[in-house]
Amino acid sequence: MPVLDWLNKGEAVKTARHVPYRLLQGVKNLSYGDADTENMLIQGDNLEALKALLPLYAGKVKCIYIDPPYNTKSAFEHYDDNLEHSQWLCMMYPRLELLRELLSEDGSIWVSIDDNEAHYLKVMMDEVFGRKNFITSVIWRKNYSPKSSARHFSEDHDYIVVYAKDAERWIPNPMPRSEKQDKAYKNPDND
């Protein structure tokens, strides 16, 4: 299987193993609701938070959705989305490894991304999750009108890359159709 290589990949591959385990500590004055639920809002470095969740949730998470930085070369109020390409890859790899450990055997991970890093992400996820566990790339439309300021093409979509921990065990859980949706379908020949 082809693998993606980049500057400092060796360090990125080792990063997940070397992140120290930390205990999660509740903060009473920031807590809300029933203390006996497993719901949490964790503030801090997400790599350290993922490692802290492993002893509690390894192999137990059915569905993970992440919306990582798209590496758009933009600066936002709360973070800079302008990493050098190999830095972005080094940031993503260990997080994907830890997320894989959190997934149950029939679990899946859904990752939002755009054209800037989508294809590199796909190859990296092939390596971390196994190419045979790739489910699909979902295209979601984000704009309904073309941008007249576009230099080349007016992009109107992003992607959600979907992998299963074990594609043989993963089964989608579709929402049942409503009566209103059923009425939109015609079956004149009863086939």
* 60-76 pLDDT tens trace: 999 999 998 877 666 66
For residue 140, what pLDDT band results from cuts at 50, 70 and 90? confident
Contact present, 39 and 120 (Cβ < 8 Å)? no
The model carries a pTM of 0.83
Contact present, 22 and 52 (Cβ < 8 Å)? yes
Q: Return the number of other C-beta atoms located less than 10 Å from residue 12's C-beta.
A: 21
Q: What average pLDDT score do residues 35-57 get?
A: 88
CA distance linking residue 128 with residue 94, whole number of Å: 9
- Name which of 107, 124, 117 is nearest 159 in CA terms: 117
Task: Find the helix packing angle between 46-57 and 85-102, rounded to 10°.
Answer: 20
Question: Dihedral of the CA atoms 32, 99, 116, 77 (nearest 10)?
Answer: 20
* Those residues with Cβ within 8 angstroms of residue 134's Cβ, 6 or more apart along the chain or in another chain: 122, 125, 126, 162, 163, 167
Instruction: Look at the alpha carbons of 127, 131, 134, 136 in this order and tell me if their dihedral is positive or negative.
Output: positive
CA distance linking residue 84 with residue 117, whole number of Å: 12
- To 5 degrees, how large is the angle CA 48–CA 53–CA 59? 130
For residue 126, the 8-state DSSP code is H
For residue 79, what pLDDT band results from cuts at 50, 70 and 90? low
CA distance linking residue 160 with residue 139, whole number of Å: 6
Q: Return the number of other C-beta atoms located less than 10 Å from residue 152's C-beta.
A: 5
pLDDT at position 88: 87
CA 19 to the chain's CA centroid: 20
Of residues 179 and 35, more confidently modeled: 179
Average predicted confidence (pLDDT) for the chain: 87
Contact present, 106 and 62 (Cβ < 8 Å)? yes
CA distance linking residue 65 with residue 160, whole number of Å: 9
